[in-house]
Amino acid sequence: MKKFLILVFINILLFGCAAATPKTETYMGKAVFDVNISTSSNDVVRNVYDSIALRSSHLSKTVAFMPSTLPDQPGAPNIAIKSIGFGLANFSLPRTSCDGAYAVMSGLDKGVSSSVYGTSDMASYTSCIYPYKDAYRIYIIGNFMSSSSGGLGGIMADAIKKGVSKAGKYDNMYDAWFDSIVQKFKEKEPEAKVVEIDMP
């Protein structure tokens, strides 16, 4: 505990100036897997769902029909940047759509917010499953947003988040959130091939 408090204090000194003004930051994480096409499609959908449910308590799921003829190449989600404005504040958020996917799951993270510090950390997750001749191509996309009202509360909140992240050996708190989903899926599908993983 003592080491953690020292780490928080150091972070306050190092990052205090940057956190003193209001700010909104967005990040993205992406994990792509291939699961053997001989695997039951119901099992694949359930394992993806259960993995995201680790961080999300409100998940939507849409499952279509398996294609009668599997394509040679997998599909891929479309990720676009959408600008959003609230009063004088404007920021951009990535938006993921899963056109042509066999199954789509999406939900919001449980999140962390504090009225005391005036901070909010939010995330949404989208998974697209595209069967093709060799495998199920699975995309898990995380969109993360951090906002702070600044001031002393912002300095404290920023330092605490950095201290927690470094204590867990992550670059930031969103790394920890996203990695928990990735590791859960690997546990559920130990034979899955990792195609690509980009942490937030």
Helix H or strand E encompassing 175:
helix 173-188
Number of structural domains (the chain) is 1
The CB density around residue 183, as the number of other CB atoms within 10 Å, is 12
Does residue 4 lie in a domain region? no
Q: What are phi and psi of 127, to 5 degrees?
A: -125, 135
Would you say residue 107 lies in a domain? yes
**Rounded Cα–Cα distance for residues 82 and 59 (Å):** 22
75 in any annotated domain: yes
Q: Give CA angle at 65 (141, 179), nearest 5°.
A: 20
81 in a domain, yes or no? yes
Is 8 inside a domain boundary?
A: no
Q: What pTM, to 2 d.p., does this model score?
A: 0.76
The reply to whether 190 falls in a domain is yes
Q: Is residue 9 part of a domain?
A: no
Domain assignment of residue 118, yes or no: yes
How would you write the pLDDT of the chain (200 residues) with one tens digit per residue? Answer: 544 444 444 444 444 444 456 677 788 999 999 999 999 999 999 999 999 999 998 899 999 999 999 999 999 999 877 655 544 455 566 778 999 999 999 999 887 655 545 566 778 999 999 999 999 999 999 998 777 665 555 555 555 555 555 555 666 778 888 999 999 999 999 999 999 999 87
| Domain interval for residue 138 | 26-147+172-198
